[in-house]
Structure 1
Amino acid sequence: MARQSPQRPDADEPGAQHDDSGDAAPAGNADRSLWEDVRIDPVEIALPSGVGVTLRAYRPANEVTPTDIGEREEDDPFAAKSRQALPDEDEDEENVVILDEEFLAAAAEDDAERDAQRGRPAGDDDADTEAAEQADAATEEVPVFLTHKGRLLLFKSPESLASFVRSGAPHDMTQLDTWNDLVERIQPDDVAPTDEDSYELDLVVENLRGGHDTWDATLLIEAGEVARDLAYALRLPSVLDMLSAGSSLDDLDEALRSTVDGGIGGFMGRRRLKKIGAQTASLGWRTIIGKISAAVDWRD
């Protein structure tokens, strides 16, 4: 993955400890020992259709099996053309992938370069490099969500999530080595996502429509992080393409990060933001959120 989601709080940090004075600890200091032990986190996601909680973990790619999207294929208008990531003329506006000319040119360049490389005999150095890249890809940590048959299981309450975990119902997280420990220990009170694990995707499009001066950098950066994670875990290649390096939405993300960093980089980032079309950005994000929403299985 290009970027990792925000770091989780460390139990050894002062702010992560319980208040032993007898008074209830502030929400930000809630007991995180269960989640640290199982290396899984509760996540809150707000979508236009509602707010729900689910689970997310990060594991080496060679330790997890991707979710099965076989039953979702027929419902996915992008499944047959995900490699091209080009809009079909018959699709309505909700399903159009927004790709700018620069992205298409960059993609064509990459394809040409790969074709040229395939036409050359690979030397020992090339073979060693390829083997090293494959090894790195196998051990790179990738996101795993509480999914089943290509859909994100999103729960409307901590109680329903905890009940589902204990139920033994099928889903993709049963493959995790710490899952049985979570099943034995989880209680509804444990399902309390931190601020870093709470995402407001329902606010993104409206914020972008407000124009450059109103764009919320934190909101948009965090939305990009969780959207990339979800697109990977749910196997939504069209969304990954829209957020990939060289796309207009990735340019937006990079410029926003520069403004947060401040200094000369922040000044340049603000200049770059003014060159990004608000309409293109909002339409692109509307498509992304629509694609993610279509892959959600709401549970009471």
Structure 2
Amino acid sequence: MAGSGTLSLSQFPIHRPLPFPKNKPQTTRICIRAMSGENSSSSVTTQQEPSPISISPPPNFKPPEPKRFIIRPDKRIEILSASLSLFFRLATGVFASGYSFSFVSQDEVPSDEYAFRLSGITVKETSKLGARPEKPIEIYEFESCPFCRKVREIVAVLDLDVLFYPCPRNGPNFRPKVVQMGGKQQFPYMVDPNTGVSMYESDEIIRYLVGTYGDGNIPLTLSLGFLTSLTCGLAMLSRITKGTTYTPAKLPPKPLKLWAYEGSPFCKVVREVLVELELPHLLINSARGSPKRNILYQKKGHFQVPFLEDPNTGIEMFESAEIIEYIRATYTL
């Protein structure tokens, strides 16, 4: 993907209509009576279109200003617990494939291009990525599944954008869809609209993705079999109840768009809420070294994740704590 420009949903056509359940049309019976020599009556049945879903931001809502390296006091424990996974998984999902960095002079990177700058130090980060899919990969999964985490880590490493269909327990929409498509309720389930390939089994999905969109080599931390699955499970212990069970919510007409990556604890707490509310979302992976960091920087004049774009309300915003509050206020029933 180019290192500059803007990114929009139009660049990522969804290869099939979102499998949202359709409301049954309301039926109204109208009885018409006429007098013409003898009593007669006829009944006419008409169909009414279902009322559209009403989605709007909270009253007087204003997106917050982004704040770098600041954790809201009431969210410190949550962010700390979400950070523990970095230890168990050795920061897998933090860096894009082929990540490298170099210290450069401040003048070497133009002010309109992204670089990590802190206290007068400028760090230029790069990566080596494989072929880029034309359409986003589609993955059906849920946050607290260790096998799903393995797949989320590899798509962050490969810097792939993914259309996630959350499948929390008791979720009414996408769990049944997986059974319909693949024949069994098992997660993760991947669909690649670019090749027509669909499959279960996290290790098979990983091998497919690195072979199709990477250099064919699976990162060591994702190639250890049982040990990989075990550490993925341990990484989730501090958040085991999050992103697991469905909370009734409005199903949006369009998927939300989230700039994030698997290794960030700030992104994780937002993803948990999206999964619990079963909100489809296009995740723009932007791990360290991703060229999409520069795209967001040029789009907003600032890089920070998570960054949410909601095409259903027009809201765009930084700051994980406020994003969570916005999502719950807008979509929870």
Give the TM-score band, short-chain normalised. under 0.3
Q: Give the greater-gyration-radius structure (CA).
A: 2
More strand by share: 2
More helix by share: 1
Instruction: Report the TM-score when normalising by structure 2.
Output: 0.26
